[in-house]
Chains A and B, each alone.
Chain A
Amino acid sequence: MTLVDAQAPIAPREAISLSEPRDFIELLKPRVMSLVILTAVTGLVVAPVHMHPMLAAISILAIAIGAGAAGALNMWYDADIDAMMTRTARRPVPTGRVTGETALAFGLALSLLSVCLLGLASNWFAAGFLAFTIFFYAVIYTIGLKRFTPQNIVIGGAAGAFPPMVGYAAATGGLSVESTILFLIIFLWTPPHFWALALFKLRDYGSAGVPMLPNVAGERATRIQIFAYSLVLAPIGVAPFLFGYAGPAYGVVSTLLGLNFLRHAFVVLKMADGDEKMIPAKKLFGFSILYLFGLFAMLLVDAAITMTIGG
């Protein structure tokens, strides 16, 4: 009950938010976050310096929150084009479940929190690197590249490739050849992964005005680019074994996964022009996720075996 002037005009009823906690979790892009956690943990585990387990776990949490923050900022800025694509139209901002302002505030608050938390739990070099990663994804990729160049995925892919380097930096306070190879694996994996998606979501990206490679250069050029990147990716995937910081089990698994990736990419290369179903592209997209999870999970298993044998 409140005392009010009975003669005062009744203001129009303001919209009360119907957003649920799960909408905010969706803003964090949980599936991307799970990949970031896996790759950051791998970067941290392959580092020659061992962190306090509690500080290591909190550092990984901070990196995951940072990735989620970047996802929220991306959803805030891209709400207009997300609304035009079937894959993204049900996201919280385009559906109105979360307002753009709320998504922006949420992303900025989580960015600040994640960077401070990582700085306190590990070191400020890693925290600065995480801040740069969020900036790279939200500003350089989302705002600067995505709508203006078909190379958006190539350059923007660096943002998704930084987490293992951040994990490594959290443990060591610096960078190395090992962490750079982990970066290169994700960096070279990103274009064939997203171009395979863009091939069978061609119309979606086209109607939203996003200049993905198939819309700009055509399907044939995209299929050639996918195969070219796969040719470079396959040997880089084996590099942790060749450089001696992963064992023979990783060497065998990464070689088999790489050959299978190349096989999928070759089938895409040979796909007929104007193929409506795009089944090879869908298969490559699905396998590419398995490939990256497989490589990093195997690196973790390998590190665990090494630690067990080494006592």
Chain B
Amino acid sequence: MIVEREDRIRLTESEKRAQRNRSIAIGVVLVALVVIFYLVTVAKMAS
């Protein structure tokens, strides 16, 4: 029988907070990498 039900794993508040903080950090690092590689390209073209 197939029924609709909630996910079996429910994150605790501390798990949710840690996961959210990690996601934000990964996002910040990815944006920083894009900026860094852009700056390297511009500086290489200028020098």
Contact = CB atoms under 8 A, between A and B. Distances in A.
A1 B6 contact: yes
Interface residues of B, number: 29
Given A1-B5, A6-B5, A16 B40 contact: no
Given A13-B9, A52-B46, A61-B36, A21 B25 contact: yes
B7 A2 contact: yes
Contacts of A177: none
B34 interface: no
Q: Main SS of the interface on chain B?
A: helix
A108 B10 CA distance: 32
Contact of B18 (A2, A3, A18, A54): A18
Interface string A3-17: 111110011011011
Nearest to A2: B7
Contacts of B12: 16
Interface string A255-293: 000000000000000000000000000000000000000
Given A1-B5, A3-B2, A55-B44, A18 B14 contact: yes
A47 to B, nearest CB: 16
A18 B44 contact: no
Nearest to A24: B25
A20 B21 contact: yes
Nearest to B47: A52
A10 B9 CA distance: 10
A54 B43 contact: yes
16 contacts: A1-B4, A1-B5, A1-B7, A2-B5, A2-B6, A10-B8, A16-B9, A16-B15, A17-B15, A18-B15, A19-B18, A20-B22, A21-B21, A24-B25, A55-B43, A120-B44
Interface of A: 1-7, 10-11, 13-14, 16-21, 24, 52, 54-55, 58, 61, 113, 117, 120-121
Give the 7 A-B CB pairs with smallest separation, nearest first.
A21-B25, A54-B43, A52-B47, A16-B15, A18-B18, A6-B3, A55-B43
